[in-house]
A and B are shown apart, each in its own frame.
Chain A
């Protein structure tokens, strides 16, 4: 189960100092996922905080500590989905956020992981999240399938389509894909 499982069990026991360690370990990947999905870092802060509050409230009922990562990303995904649903009702806000992200990332000159992350902003949400979970968060296919609530085969086809879209997008921007 590893150190993640140990930390989760300590939190379930009620060792308050373990929460700090758990958050320090998992906040960066959680934040990166949320940031990749919503674009704005400030919004990512808010949504990540909401996700952590939900995690703390649900942690005593988590029966399988080794499934913590999947559970965490499932909760984060729910927050992101709720947010995207709201922003699609107000399209001008989504456009503003997307424009801000792209403008930020045009400032640097070399192709980096950060720019690939920025390229993700141009992809539709379904393709974006599968790339983030699989490539940036290094979740295995089975875990991605669980978080996304789809069969593994669907994750594979979505990944294939997402990689092609990202490659095309980066090529359009003049980067080597």
Chain B
């Protein structure tokens, strides 16, 4: 083995450092969280608008609405795939993302309920409120689980620090 090879073996190559810096980037993770939430919340709002429309919509308008909902959901699925496979969230990232998701869900649910209250029937209002409650509860559960996982890791980290010489 040459001297050059030994030098390479000792150090962490710059290219690897750059690649790993991109891999662990918090900004990239939050961007995908935002994209996923925007897609999902946008699709939900369009669905409420469509459902509370007082008159039957023309076919092409329905197609546009369906297309927009599909696009929003596609962005959510894409972001979910990235966050589960390519940029998985670490414990702190999960807590931060869950807080953002909870805020986005609450705002969307309130906006949806307001829209349904103004434009739709009582049945629309109840359905929208029920949907909002379900999604908000799911976001809260995600936040609770994320905080629990972070607490476990913090306890483990502190215990290991105490054990360390």
A146 to chain B, nearest CB (A): 22
**Is chain A's binding surface mostly helix, strand, loop or mixed?**
helix
Instruction: Report whether A9 and B89 are in contact in the complex, using a CB–CB cutoff of 8 Å.
Output: no
Instruction: Report whether A9 and B153 are in contact in the complex, using a CB–CB cutoff of 8 Å.
Output: yes
Instruction: Report whether B24 and A19 are in contact in the complex, using a CB–CB cutoff of 8 Å.
Output: yes
Say if the beta carbon of B81 comes within 8 Å of chain A. Answer: no
**Is chain B's binding surface mostly helix, strand, loop or mixed?**
helix
Contact with A along B82-116 (1 / 0, CB 8 A): 00011111111100000000000000000000000
Instruction: Report whether A49 and B160 are in contact in the complex, using a CB–CB cutoff of 8 Å.
Output: no
In the complex, which residues 99-157 of chain A have their Cβ closer than 8 Å to any Cβ of chain B? 104-105, 107, 114, 117-118
Q: Which of A56, A65, A104 contacts B23 (CB 8 A)?
A: A56
A6 contacts across to B, CB distance below 8 A: 157, 160-161, 164
Q: Which of A9, A49, A60 contacts B19 (CB 8 A)?
A: A49
B67 contacts across to A, CB distance below 8 A: none
Instruction: Report whether B13 and A45 are in contact in the complex, using a CB–CB cutoff of 8 Å.
Output: yes
Say if the beta carbon of B59 comes within 8 Å of chain A. Answer: no
Total chain B interface residues with beta-carbon distance under 8 A: 36
Chain B residue with Cβ nearest A6: B160
Say if the beta carbon of A23 comes within 8 Å of chain B. Answer: yes
Say if the beta carbon of B2 comes within 8 Å of chain A. Answer: yes
Say if the beta carbon of A38 comes within 8 Å of chain B. Answer: no
Total chain A interface residues with beta-carbon distance under 8 A: 41
- Residues of chain B touching chain A, judged by Cβ–Cβ distance below 8 Å, are 1-2, 4-6, 8-10, 12-13, 15-17, 19-20, 23-24, 26, 85-93, 150, 153-154, 156-157, 160-161, 163-164
Known: A12-B153, A27-B16. 7 other contacts (CB 8 A): A10-B157, A12-B91, A15-B92, A23-B17, A32-B9, A45-B16, A56-B24
